[in-house]
Amino acid sequence: MTTENQNSAGMKPEKSPGFFDRIWNFFASIRLTVALLLTLAGTSIIGTLVPQNEDPASYFKAYGEFLYRLFYALDIFDMYRSWWFQFLLLMLVLNILVCSADRLISTGKIIFAKKPKYSLSRFQKRPDAKTFTAPAPPENLLDPFDKIVASKFGYRRVEKTENGYTIFAEKGRKSRLGVYVVHLSVLLLLAGGLTGSFFGFEGYVNIPEGDTVSQIRLRNTNQPLDLPFSVRCDDFSVSFYNTGAPEEFRSTLTIFENENPVFTEDIIVNDPLRYRGINLFQSSYGEMRSRDADSEEVVINFTSVESGMSYTRKMKIRETIDMPEGQGTFKLDRFIPSYTFMDMMNLGQVFIGVLTPAEAAKPVEVILPVQHPDFDKMIVRRGLRQGNFFISVGDVQKRYYTGLQVTKDPGVPLVYLGFLVMIGGIFITFLMSHQQVCVSVEGMGKEKNSRVLVSGFADRNRLGMTRKVEDLHAQLVEAAQKTA
């Protein structure tokens, strides 16, 4: 199968190719396109096998010294931003530009012709041209034939010939531009990507609940970057399904400009906050190691062993209060983020209290694990500690931090435009074609019959066009019969 436009390279001037021409022809070649596409495909695999942008030490450990040095020299650890990958993309851009320009020069005249040119002999010579004899003179056939052709093709023209006429018709001439539209879209995407990498950034920041930040860190370099505004995390919450899988991460953020709150908005995954071209995305979260435990109020529950009567007190670390029912004093002594009980059981976060009973007995330490409120009850029941009260820590407000991805990418509008243009261009290229037909009707002298030739071709989807010509042929035969 050959293509109508395949010989465009051959249409260039025949004089001996100069330096410029040789470069032009190099970039105008489809071979280069195929080579570049396959090289891009092949090299892209590397970056999926070697994890990108990780810690050098872990690479060194995984690959050993020799491979590490080799990969490092070839930028394999950040290959999609490497000079050689960017070079391949640059070559692709030049290839697309030169190829498109080269072809537009030769096909532009066809595409933008005000009065399309037709060559009757080209239609006649086609092996799939169909002919039949109509039992009516040419002039009687013009109206019915023209009507049928008009129902299928947008543009048509009747030209007189010696013994009759020829109807030329076509549609979809502009669809030849589809490929250029697709190529333009690729350039838009790359331009958008370039814009983003020059004028945008990608960073992250962790904000503890209640805190305000105006500085983030860039993702790849870890450099700090000041935002033109500041963000406070008012609240973070996470909810879970019964299965234990997370259901929703939600942060309430307030934006400040020069210390003045501008607005407050909740963000969840898939629903970011956008302000002054900067986007804040919910990306992770974590629990604060209670560095502020000193200043926080803790709820302590005292439950009487005898009556089951329960008392609740709020207190801070190092505060001492009187026990209920005049049973001495209780001091909330300290907080331990991770506590191992009798060298055996890790209880996690615990508060240590000191209980001084009323009857001049010795003070005892009381262990109050945050996660296990019944711990002290067990201790007292087993007689490991004397006392009239079980003591436990009530709900300790967990303090979370929210992890935000912070990005700015002024290239996005270009990229999105590229997306739309690409889908449109591919639709045009794949679903439409430039179809041309000719119906030539010649009188056959005295017999009052006509010889009819139906022929057509398209720049794409040739089998479909053959079928279309067959349809047209059948309809014309039927119409000719009716006319007679």
Binding site for other proteins (CB under 8 A): 1-3, 6, 30, 33-34, 37-38, 40-41, 44-45, 47-49, 51-52, 80, 193, 202, 241, 243, 245-249, 268-272, 279, 281-283, 405-407, 409, 412, 415-416, 419, 422-423, 426-427, 430, 460, 463
Torsion region of 67: left, alpha or beta (phi above 0 gives left; psi -120 to 50 gives alpha): alpha
Q: Kindly report the length of the chain.
A: 484
Q: How far is the CB of 269 from other proteins (least distance, A)?
A: 4
The strand pair at 310-315 and 212-218 is best described as: unpaired
* Residue whose CB is less far from other proteins, 232 or 460: 460
- 33 vs 140, beta carbon nearer other proteins: 33
Question: CA-CA distance, 321 to 302, in Å (whole number)?
Answer: 12
Please state the closest distance from residue 279 (CB atom) to other proteins, in A: 5
Nearer Cβ to other proteins (235/319): 235
Alpha carbons 457 and 124: distance in angstroms, whole number: 11
CA distances from 102 to 17, 88, 98, 118, 337 (A): 15, 21, 6, 23, 71
| C-alpha–C-alpha distance, residues 188 and 191, integer Å | 5
- Tell me the sheet residues that pair with 304: 389
Considering the complex, state which of residue 73 and residue 463 has its C-beta at the smaller distance from other proteins. 463
Q: Least distance (Å) from other proteins to the CB of residue 296? A: 29
Give min distance, CB of 49 to other proteins, in A.
Answer: 7
Whichever of 282 and 435 has its CB closer to other proteins, that residue is 282
Closest separation in Å from C-beta 450 to other proteins: 33
Going by C-alpha positions, the residue among 388, 401, 326, 338 that lies closest to residue 367 is 338
Sheet strand arrangement including 164-171 = 130-134, 450-458, 435-443, 164-171, 155-160
Strand, coil or helix: what is 435?
strand
What is 238-307 written as a DSSP string? EEE-TTS-EEEEEEEEEEEETTEEEEEEEEETTB-EEETTEEEEEEEEEEPP-TTTTTS-EEEEEEETTT
Nearer to other proteins, 140 or 195 (CB): 195
What's the closest the beta carbon of residue 134 comes to other proteins, in angstroms?
31
What CA–CA distance (Å, rounded) separates 272 from 104?
A: 43
Looking at beta carbons only, is 311 or 430 nearer to other proteins? 430
Q: Minimum distance between the CB of residue 47 and other proteins, rounded to whole angstroms?
A: 6
Nearer to other proteins, 3 or 133 (CB): 3
Cβ 480 to other proteins shortest distance, Å: 29
